[in-house]
A = this chain, B = another copy of it.
Amino acid sequence: MTLNKNTFIGEYSYTIDAKGRINIPSKFRNSLSKDNKSSLVVTRGMDKCVWVYPLIVWKSIEDELRKLSSLSSINRSFIRNTVRHASITKLDKQGRISLNQNLISFSSITKNALIIGMVNKIEIWDPSYLLKIDNNFNDIDSTQFDELSDKIIL
């Protein structure tokens, strides 16, 4: 038995090389459904990290965006900022993708990078930057988790 297709969990440490290439963990590669044809969509995350979607998952996000009317300016902004930094890429024969300079500098990645499974997508972080976010996490007011506990049972 395995996880569902296009499902990612766990954390992995990799390096980005001089050509901007970074490995996708083999467990994540094996998790990709065949209809993706090893195509991924990379874009800016909501945090200062890179988001990586299997193509088939990204397409469903596009479908959601189609539903938003462009009559509303907030909708236009949201669509624009969601899509403008996205690009489609393929795994090379060694299982890597290459990130463009825009995404690399946005996420402040220099050499080392953490790749984290986020269930339906993948995040790529600069390790020291993520550490700061972690500290914030510990500072989160517990009332915020109380709200969550109404939505999720662990």
Q: Are A118 and B59 closer than 8 Å at their CB atoms? A: no
Write out the residue numbers on chain B whose beta carbons fall within 8 Å of the beta carbon of A124: none
Kindly state whether residue A128 has any CB partner on chain B within 8 Å: no
Docked CA distance A4–B56 (Å): 11
In the complex with contacts A1-B37, A3-B59, A119-B79, A154-B84 CB distance below 8 A: no
Proximity string of chain A (93-112) to chain B, C-beta cutoff 8 Å, 1 when within and 0 when not = 00000000010000000000
The listed residue with most B CB atoms (<10 A of its CB), out of A64, A79, A123, A144, is: A79
List 17 A-B residue pairs with CB atoms under 8 Å apart, sorted by A's residue number. Answer: A1-B35, A1-B37, A3-B55, A9-B86, A9-B88, A10-B83, A10-B87, A27-B87, A46-B73, A47-B73, A64-B154, A65-B152, A74-B148, A77-B136, A79-B119, A83-B118, A84-B117
* CB-based nearest B residue for A13: B102
Tell me if B10 and A46 are in contact (CB < 8 A).
no
Contact call B119/A62, Cβ cutoff below 8 A: yes
